[in-house]
Amino acid sequence: MVERGKATRGRVARAVAGAEQIEIKATVPNHQIVPALRRFGLTASNDEERFIYFFDTPALDLLGAGIIARARRVIGDDHDSTVKFRPVVPEDVDKQWRKYRGFKIEADASENAMVKSASFSMPVDKGLIKRVASGKRGVAALFTAEQEAFLASMAGREVDFAELAVLGPLVAQRWEIEDPACPWPMTVELWRRSDGQRLMEVSIKAPVVQAAAAIGGFMAFLAEVGAERDRDQQTKTRWALEFYAAKLARRRPAGKKKAGKRRRPARAGGTSPARPGRG
């Protein structure tokens, strides 16, 4: 029974205020992954294959500060890099970033919580992610001056790119599907770590005005199709980063620090000099 009445009026609207859209996510328990793939006819022949790399310190200092830095290499499509912050207060985010096509403020909802985030994505030249992953280029090469300015203005502190390690890649499969019982198109993502462990996430996106109906409707749809609640639910990002950071720690001698030239971050407003060799 869903609680209703004066106490619930405007509860969801207040929670998503300032966001441009809402994304509602649910993870699928491991033992239901194969049946879910079979039910929707999802195979390697009809997916969008991606390789996802994260960048953080070995101690995951960025993640601890609510910052996510990643790059995505999409087979047969464009590549990109993203800087994401959560949680954010939308009215505190400088309006100058809204002029960029790759910027968005979104409400991320799960079965356990809702949080607002701000992210800024930019295209990356093909081949560059591979060069960074192999150590031929520094991590900073993946992020533009505008993204650095966004990073500096949101974090309020310097980020030394030379201290960031490459964590990954994860192999990701992604499908866009529809079901007559769900009025919103669904996205299914299946991530696989190098140890073979998998995590599946099903999500929908909706305008914020539909937030309450979308949350209730999507969860009801999952219940109707028999999707069990994932008792070990965690975000894909944390699930990936903690594994790869632990793997990195086992490889590195104690006390050894990655060498690299310290970079000056861009000032808010994008006034940092352009990097040579970009694009």
Q: Is residue 53 exposed (0-12), middle (13-18) or buried (19+ Cβ within 10 Å)?
A: buried
Query: Which residue's entry shows tokens 């994008």?
Result: 270
Average pLDDT over residues 51-79: 95
Average pLDDT over residues 174-193: 96
Q: What is the pLDDT of residues 128-169, one digit of tens each?
A: 999 999 999 999 999 999 999 999 999 888 788 889 999 999
Is residue 279's pLDDT more than 60?
Answer: no
In the chain the first and final C-alpha atoms are separated, in Å, by 55
Neighbours of 194 (CB within 10 A): 12
Q: If you count them, how many residues does the chain have?
A: 279
Is residue 45's pLDDT more than 80?
Answer: yes
Highest mean pLDDT among 28-42, 151-165, 228-242: 28-42
Q: What percent of the chain has pLDDT over 90?
A: 74
Q: What is the pLDDT of residues 92-123, one digit of tens each?
A: 999 999 999 999 999 999 877 899 999 999 99
Average pLDDT over residues 247-259: 65
What DSSP letter does each residue of the chain carry, written as one string?
A: ----SGGGTTHHHHHHTT-SEEEEEEEEPGGGHHHHHHHTT--TTSSEEEEEEEEE-TT-HHHHTTEEEEEEEETTS-EEEEEEE-S--GGGS-GGGGGSTTEEEEEEE-SS-EEEEEEEEEEE-TTHHHHHHTTSS-GGGGS-HHHHHHHHHHH-S---GGGPEEEEEEEEEEEEEEETTEEEEEEEEEEE-TTS-EEEEEEEEEEGGGHHHHHHHHHHHHHHTTPPP-TT---HHHHHHHHHHHHHHHHSPTT-----PPPPPPPTTT-SPPPTT--
Is residue 261's pLDDT more than 60?
Answer: no
d(CA 244, CA 267): 31
Is residue 188's pLDDT more than 70?
Answer: yes
- Look at residue 200 in the predicted model and tell me its pLDDT: 95
- Look at residue 265 in the predicted model and tell me its pLDDT: 39
- Look at residue 171 in the predicted model and tell me its pLDDT: 96
- Look at residue 159 in the predicted model and tell me its pLDDT: 83
- Look at residue 259 in the predicted model and tell me its pLDDT: 36
